[in-house]
A and B are shown apart, each in its own frame.
Chain A
Amino acid sequence: MKVKVKFFAALRECVGSSEITREIGEGSTVGELWEALQRDYPKLTPVNMALLYAVNRDYVSTGHVLQDEDEVVFVPPVSGG
Protein backbone atom coordinates (compact mmCIF):
# COMPACT_ATOMS: atom_id res chain seq x y z
CA MET A 1 0.00 0.00 0.00
CA LYS A 2 1.00 3.61 -0.49
CA VAL A 3 0.97 6.68 1.70
CA LYS A 4 1.54 10.33 0.89
CA VAL A 5 4.18 12.07 3.03
CA LYS A 6 4.40 15.86 3.19
CA PHE A 7 7.47 17.67 4.50
CA PHE A 8 7.55 21.15 5.97
CA ALA A 9 10.10 23.67 7.19
CA ALA A 10 13.41 22.15 8.31
CA LEU A 11 12.42 18.64 7.20
CA ARG A 12 11.42 19.87 3.72
CA GLU A 13 14.86 21.39 3.37
CA CYS A 14 16.55 18.16 4.56
CA VAL A 15 14.64 16.00 2.09
CA GLY A 16 14.67 18.55 -0.74
CA SER A 17 11.03 17.82 -1.55
CA SER A 18 7.70 18.89 -0.10
CA GLU A 19 5.77 15.75 -0.92
CA ILE A 20 6.50 12.11 -1.76
CA THR A 21 4.61 8.85 -2.11
CA ARG A 22 6.08 5.85 -0.26
CA GLU A 23 5.25 2.16 -0.53
CA ILE A 24 4.89 0.58 2.92
CA GLY A 25 3.96 -2.87 4.25
CA GLU A 26 0.53 -3.67 5.66
CA GLY A 27 0.35 -2.85 9.35
CA SER A 28 3.25 -0.37 9.30
CA THR A 29 3.19 2.23 12.03
CA VAL A 30 3.97 5.90 11.63
CA GLY A 31 7.15 5.34 13.70
CA GLU A 32 8.29 2.57 11.33
CA LEU A 33 7.65 4.84 8.35
CA TRP A 34 9.90 7.47 9.92
CA GLU A 35 12.69 4.87 10.33
CA ALA A 36 12.25 3.81 6.69
CA LEU A 37 12.46 7.43 5.53
CA GLN A 38 15.64 7.92 7.53
CA ARG A 39 17.13 5.05 5.48
CA ASP A 40 15.82 6.59 2.22
CA TYR A 41 17.11 10.06 3.09
CA PRO A 42 20.39 9.89 5.02
CA LYS A 43 20.07 13.62 5.78
CA LEU A 44 17.14 12.75 8.06
CA THR A 45 19.26 10.42 10.18
CA PRO A 46 20.89 13.14 12.28
CA VAL A 47 17.58 14.95 12.75
CA ASN A 48 17.60 15.61 16.44
CA MET A 49 14.34 17.29 17.24
CA ALA A 50 11.16 16.22 18.98
CA LEU A 51 8.84 15.35 16.10
CA LEU A 52 5.10 15.03 16.34
CA TYR A 53 3.21 12.80 13.94
CA ALA A 54 0.09 13.79 12.03
CA VAL A 55 -2.03 11.42 9.96
CA ASN A 56 -4.85 12.84 7.87
CA ARG A 57 -4.42 16.16 9.70
CA ASP A 58 -4.76 14.81 13.24
CA TYR A 59 -1.94 14.29 15.70
CA VAL A 60 -1.33 10.59 16.42
CA SER A 61 1.15 8.57 18.51
CA THR A 62 4.19 6.77 17.14
CA GLY A 63 2.41 3.40 17.21
CA HIS A 64 -0.47 4.56 15.00
CA VAL A 65 -1.06 1.97 12.23
CA LEU A 66 -1.17 3.45 8.74
CA GLN A 67 -3.81 2.77 6.11
CA ASP A 68 -3.56 2.89 2.32
CA GLU A 69 -3.63 6.48 0.96
CA ASP A 70 -3.04 8.09 4.35
CA GLU A 71 -1.50 11.59 4.38
CA VAL A 72 1.39 11.59 6.84
CA VAL A 73 3.28 14.60 8.15
CA PHE A 74 6.26 14.55 10.49
CA VAL A 75 5.81 17.79 12.39
CA PRO A 76 9.00 19.60 13.47
CA PRO A 77 8.68 21.68 16.66
CA VAL A 78 6.11 24.35 15.85
CA SER A 79 7.04 28.02 16.15
CA GLY A 80 4.08 30.09 15.05
CA GLY A 81 3.21 33.40 16.66
Chain B
Amino acid sequence: MFRVTEKSLDLHELIVFVSSPMAGAIATFLGTARNHNSGRRVISLEYEAYPEMAERELARVGEEARRRWDVERIAIVHRIGLVQISEVSVAIAVSAAHRHEAFEACRFAIEELKKTVPIWKKEVFEDGEIWIGTQSERPLNPATEPKNG
Protein backbone atom coordinates (compact mmCIF):
# COMPACT_ATOMS: atom_id res chain seq x y z
CA MET B 1 0.00 0.00 0.00
CA PHE B 2 1.70 3.18 -1.22
CA ARG B 3 -0.55 6.23 -1.19
CA VAL B 4 -0.91 9.95 -0.73
CA THR B 5 -4.27 11.08 0.60
CA GLU B 6 -6.06 14.17 1.85
CA LYS B 7 -7.85 12.11 4.50
CA SER B 8 -6.63 11.74 8.07
CA LEU B 9 -4.46 8.65 8.51
CA ASP B 10 -5.53 5.48 10.28
CA LEU B 11 -2.59 3.35 11.45
CA HIS B 12 -4.91 0.43 12.13
CA GLU B 13 -5.72 0.21 8.43
CA LEU B 14 -2.00 -0.16 7.63
CA ILE B 15 -1.50 -2.77 10.33
CA VAL B 16 -4.36 -4.84 8.95
CA PHE B 17 -2.85 -4.50 5.47
CA VAL B 18 0.63 -5.76 6.48
CA SER B 19 -0.62 -8.52 8.80
CA SER B 20 0.56 -11.91 7.63
CA PRO B 21 0.71 -15.42 9.06
CA MET B 22 4.40 -15.40 8.04
CA ALA B 23 5.12 -12.35 10.22
CA GLY B 24 6.47 -12.44 13.76
CA ALA B 25 6.69 -8.66 14.05
CA ILE B 26 5.08 -5.48 12.78
CA ALA B 27 7.04 -2.23 13.17
CA THR B 28 5.20 1.05 12.70
CA PHE B 29 6.19 4.71 12.43
CA LEU B 30 4.03 7.81 12.67
CA GLY B 31 5.24 11.28 11.75
CA THR B 32 3.23 13.93 13.60
CA ALA B 33 2.93 17.69 13.20
CA ARG B 34 5.16 19.43 15.74
CA ASN B 35 4.21 22.83 17.17
CA HIS B 36 7.71 24.30 16.89
CA ASN B 37 10.74 24.34 14.62
CA SER B 38 14.07 26.10 15.16
CA GLY B 39 12.58 27.96 18.11
CA ARG B 40 9.55 29.28 16.23
CA ARG B 41 5.97 28.40 17.05
CA VAL B 42 4.34 26.46 14.22
CA ILE B 43 0.57 26.92 13.83
CA SER B 44 -0.07 24.22 11.23
CA LEU B 45 1.55 22.33 8.38
CA GLU B 46 0.54 22.15 4.78
CA TYR B 47 1.75 19.34 2.54
CA GLU B 48 1.74 19.31 -1.22
CA ALA B 49 2.66 16.37 -3.46
CA TYR B 50 3.18 15.54 -7.09
CA PRO B 51 0.74 12.72 -6.43
CA GLU B 52 1.30 10.36 -9.35
CA MET B 53 5.07 10.46 -8.96
CA ALA B 54 4.95 10.46 -5.15
CA GLU B 55 3.04 7.18 -5.10
CA ARG B 56 5.51 5.69 -7.59
CA GLU B 57 8.45 6.84 -5.47
CA LEU B 58 6.83 5.48 -2.30
CA ALA B 59 6.52 2.12 -4.06
CA ARG B 60 10.18 2.36 -5.10
CA VAL B 61 11.16 2.95 -1.44
CA GLY B 62 9.15 -0.13 -0.51
CA GLU B 63 10.83 -2.22 -3.21
CA GLU B 64 14.26 -1.10 -2.05
CA ALA B 65 13.43 -1.98 1.57
CA ARG B 66 12.26 -5.38 0.38
CA ARG B 67 15.50 -5.86 -1.55
CA ARG B 68 17.59 -5.10 1.56
CA TRP B 69 15.64 -6.95 4.25
CA ASP B 70 13.52 -10.04 4.41
CA VAL B 71 10.17 -8.35 5.00
CA GLU B 72 6.66 -9.59 4.35
CA ARG B 73 4.58 -6.50 3.57
CA ILE B 74 5.05 -2.73 3.62
CA ALA B 75 2.53 0.11 3.76
CA ILE B 76 3.47 3.80 3.46
CA VAL B 77 0.76 6.47 3.40
CA HIS B 78 1.44 10.23 3.39
CA ARG B 79 -1.17 12.85 4.07
CA ILE B 80 -1.34 16.02 1.97
CA GLY B 81 -3.19 19.29 2.49
CA LEU B 82 -3.62 20.99 5.85
CA VAL B 83 -2.36 19.01 8.86
CA GLN B 84 -3.08 20.38 12.31
CA ILE B 85 -0.59 20.19 15.19
CA SER B 86 -0.43 16.66 16.70
CA GLU B 87 -2.10 15.09 13.68
CA VAL B 88 -0.35 12.34 11.73
CA SER B 89 1.33 13.37 8.46
CA VAL B 90 2.89 10.02 7.53
CA ALA B 91 2.25 6.42 8.59
CA ILE B 92 4.41 3.38 7.88
CA ALA B 93 3.91 -0.27 8.79
CA VAL B 94 6.27 -3.15 8.00
CA SER B 95 5.75 -6.82 8.77
CA ALA B 96 8.58 -9.35 8.86
CA ALA B 97 9.33 -12.78 10.24
CA HIS B 98 11.61 -11.19 12.84
CA ARG B 99 11.67 -7.82 14.61
CA HIS B 100 15.16 -6.81 13.47
CA GLU B 101 14.13 -6.71 9.80
CA ALA B 102 10.83 -4.98 10.63
CA PHE B 103 12.55 -2.19 12.61
CA GLU B 104 15.34 -1.69 10.06
CA ALA B 105 13.03 -1.59 7.05
CA CYS B 106 10.63 0.80 8.81
CA ARG B 107 13.50 3.15 9.68
CA PHE B 108 14.83 2.96 6.13
CA ALA B 109 11.40 3.76 4.69
CA ILE B 110 10.99 7.05 6.57
CA GLU B 111 14.60 8.15 5.99
CA GLU B 112 14.41 7.39 2.26
CA LEU B 113 10.97 9.00 1.91
CA LYS B 114 12.43 12.25 3.20
CA LYS B 115 15.16 12.20 0.53
CA THR B 116 13.40 11.25 -2.68
CA VAL B 117 9.62 11.38 -2.62
CA PRO B 118 8.18 14.54 -4.24
CA ILE B 119 6.24 15.86 -1.24
CA TRP B 120 6.75 19.33 0.23
CA LYS B 121 5.98 20.70 3.66
CA LYS B 122 5.07 24.29 4.40
CA GLU B 123 5.29 25.45 8.00
CA VAL B 124 2.82 28.19 8.89
CA PHE B 125 3.90 30.55 11.69
CA GLU B 126 2.02 33.37 13.36
CA ASP B 127 3.92 35.88 11.22
CA GLY B 128 4.85 34.03 8.06
CA GLU B 129 5.23 30.74 6.29
CA ILE B 130 8.06 28.78 4.73
CA TRP B 131 8.48 25.86 2.37
CA ILE B 132 10.87 23.60 4.22
CA GLY B 133 14.04 22.84 2.26
CA THR B 134 13.97 26.10 0.34
CA GLN B 135 14.82 29.71 1.06
CA SER B 136 11.43 31.00 -0.04
CA GLU B 137 10.24 32.45 3.24
CA ARG B 138 7.34 34.84 2.83
CA PRO B 139 6.09 36.96 5.71
CA LEU B 140 2.28 37.01 5.73
CA ASN B 141 2.54 40.71 6.45
CA PRO B 142 5.66 42.10 4.76
CA ALA B 143 5.78 44.92 7.31
CA THR B 144 6.35 42.39 10.10
CA GLU B 145 9.88 41.19 10.55
CA PRO B 146 9.99 37.47 11.41
CA LYS B 147 10.86 37.06 15.07
CA ASN B 148 14.21 35.48 15.77
CA GLY B 149 13.93 32.00 17.16
Which residues in A have some Cβ–Cβ distance to B below 8 Å?
Answer: 6, 8-10, 12-14, 48-49, 54, 57-59, 73, 75-81
Q: Closest CB-CB distance, B114 to chain A, in whole Å?
A: 5
Sorted from nearest, which 6 A-B pairs have the closest CB atoms?
Answer: A80-B119, A77-B133, A9-B120, A79-B132, A10-B136, A79-B133
Q: Are the C-beta atoms of B121 and A81 separated by less than 8 Å?
A: yes
A8-B48, A54-B50 known; A80+B113 contact, CB < 8 A: yes
The chain B residue sitting closest to A6, CB to CB, is: B50
Total A-B pairs, Cβ < 8 A: 79
User: How far does the alpha carbon of A73 sit from the alpha carbon of B50 in the complex, in Å?
Assistant: 9
The size of the chain B interface, using a CB distance under 8 A, is 30
Contacts of B89 in A (CB 8 A): 81
Contacts of A48 in B (CB 8 A): 135
User: How far does the alpha carbon of A61 sit from the alpha carbon of B48 in the complex, in Å?
Assistant: 23
A48-B135, A49-B134 known; A80+B53 contact, CB < 8 A: no
- Sample 25 A-B pairs with CB under 8 A, ordered by A number: A8-B49, A9-B48, A10-B131, A48-B135, A49-B134, A54-B118, A57-B50, A57-B53, A59-B116, A73-B53, A76-B134, A78-B115, A78-B118, A78-B119, A79-B119, A79-B121, A79-B132, A79-B133, A80-B49, A80-B78, A80-B90, A80-B114, A80-B117, A81-B113, A81-B119
Q: Are the C-beta atoms of B48 and A49 separated by less than 8 Å?
A: no
Known: A12-B48, A49-B133, A54-B50. 14 other contacts (CB 8 A): A13-B136, A14-B136, A57-B52, A58-B53, A59-B116, A75-B118, A76-B133, A78-B117, A78-B119, A79-B119, A79-B131, A80-B78, A80-B119, A81-B113
